Amino acid sequence: MSTFQDLGSLLLVRGADELDHAGGTLYVHLHRVAKRLRTLGASETLVIAGLAHAAYGTDGFPTHLFDWQQERPVLEAVIGTDAELLVYRYGSCERETTWRDLAEHNTVTDRFTGTSEELTTAELRDFVDLTIVNELDVLEHAPKLEPKLRPFLQEQIPRWQSLASPAVLADAHRVLDVQPQAHPA
């Protein structure tokens, strides 16, 4: 079996198909995010991280499938070090202090430990691509959240345009019906 299939099986064992989430279950949401990342040309590491992105819960979805303090090695054994680190960063991100000005400070604040980590350009791209794709999926599958989420994303995505991959940014502009902003000279 492939890493993707192994992870899918593990997510089922951990009950992802029993947790309500935007557009059905967490399991379905995780697969949609991974599929969209793959369609947009993401690396296999990012696609796998997309499939596991809520393993430790998130700042917006506190339910977790794995205990970040005890079970990181379990997830890492299935998906690899790089994908697990991205899943951890995504799940541990304190959104309020991280998201708004991420392009200026390049730093993710860990809501579990209170520490901050400055990311490289490549790490930022993967983190932002995963974040955008996740939020677009929620927007498209949770109509009750749209009145707040759409304006938030229409304001936030332009702040991340220097960080996101061109394909993810173009997808966000299409979904949000916004025009790309010109880069300052």
With cut-offs at 50, 70 and 90, classify the pLDDT of residue 182: low
pTM of the model: 0.94
pLDDT mean over 87-104: 96
Q: What is the mean pLDDT of residues 109-134?
A: 98
133 CB contacts (<8 Å, ≥6 apart)?
A: 33, 36, 37, 40, 50, 168, 171
Signed CA dihedral, 89, 168, 118, 103: sign only: negative
- Asked whether the predicted pLDDT for residue 123 surpasses 60, the reply is yes
Judged against a pLDDT cut of 90, whether residue 77 lies above it is answered with yes
CB count in 10 Å sphere of residue 11: 22
Number of residues that make up the chain = 185
Band (185; pLDDT cuts 50, 70, 90): very low
Which residue spans within 66-171 are E strands per DSSP? 107-109, 116-118
